[in-house]
A and B are shown apart, each in its own frame.
Chain A
């Protein structure tokens, strides 16, 4: 399938990166990407035109969540976005200042990001690591364009708190 290769080969890294961040392990990411590619091929006729990356990542995201559900034996409840509002307020009040060094430590950044719920982790990965615009993020994570900014705002605030928490434990 020449068309398939043209469309999706350039996005294999993005696919693997997203799957790896969502599932948290290499062998699952491997299987998720393989299955996603198979699905993409199967439904390639329904991809008319537009953004192949967003289209492919949408499939990868769904497959990753399927994997998460199966591996957690359906006890995964944190997939939804149900963080109480006052959690967020914490991030704004009298928190210690975030020094540059917190975000400079690769291991800490990795650990903090992995600690976020998938719905927050994924927007950070798509924005910061893939550099996707809001409209593409909205498609991939299946939320209205208008909520991408607030989702990212919450994700970044929680990531900051996570980094502060990890740092204070050191």
Chain B
């Protein structure tokens, strides 16, 4: 018998069950449990609860696509050029073969996964970027509703000149712009408001031919994408499809 009181024991039971107590303390708890029916009951319940949670609580493993996406993206997003060259320098023997098989696998997977639309990665990334812009409080590098402030801001930051217009009159005020990246290319991201909703418009050059507007929904977001005059446009928002279509028509037509 020892002089441990029950209140203290109630907490120590957990360290005891988790094997986190030192030997002396564990001995004291064991002695108290042997002498105190109440604490022994709580101990048994806690043990049962732990076993139940371990056995029955769902475990959510990362989806394969997420793991592959993260790993391939981080590879191309090496933080500095130096690191990249370091990698290349000590690469050849142990690196190229795995890299080659990884690339082969990636291509096979891409062919398999992306057969319905080769545009999918663009759209996925645009949605992620849209979400990130709202989450990380990083919607705009330049916050202004004046296109004559926003447009010149991109000069020197991009090797193309994105069309920037304000559509306040039509109910889509320009909020600002920021630099973004889609599929490892610089993109202009313009943000527009519509009531409480935010619209991100991504613009970047493409060599592909013109393509009419196309609607998509990914992870609950609506997307409209098209290509025109060697520019790729991707619009992402949680706005309703019809409203997003109206906005996209405005952008594609240009200002009246």
Interface of A with B (CB < 8 Å)? Answer: 1-2, 4-5, 9, 12-13, 15-17, 20-21, 26-27, 29-31, 33-35, 37-38, 41-42, 44-45, 66-67, 70, 92, 97-98, 100, 102-106, 109-110, 113, 124, 127-129, 133-134, 149-150, 152-153, 156, 159-160, 163
Contacts and interface: CB of A to CB of B under 8 A. Distances in A.
Nearest to B11: A153
Contact of B50 (A9, A15, A102, A156): A156
B131 to A, nearest CB: 5
B66 A33 contact: yes
Interface string B33-60: 0000000011001101111111111111
Q: Which one of B41, B42, B54, B74 has the highest number of Cβ atoms from chain A below 10 Å of its Cβ?
A: B74
A31 B15 contact: no
A100 B75 CA distance: 48
B52 A33 contact: no
A16 B20 contact: no
Interface size class of B (residues with CB under 8 A): 35 or more
A113 B56 CA distance: 11
Contacts of B74: 1, 4-5, 37-38, 41
B14 A102 contact: no
Contact of A42 (B20, B60, B75, B79): B79
A140 to B, nearest CB: 16
Contacts of A156: 14, 46, 49-50
Interface string B109-142: 0000000000000000000100110111000000
A6 to B, nearest CB: 11
Contacts of B52: 100, 102-104, 109
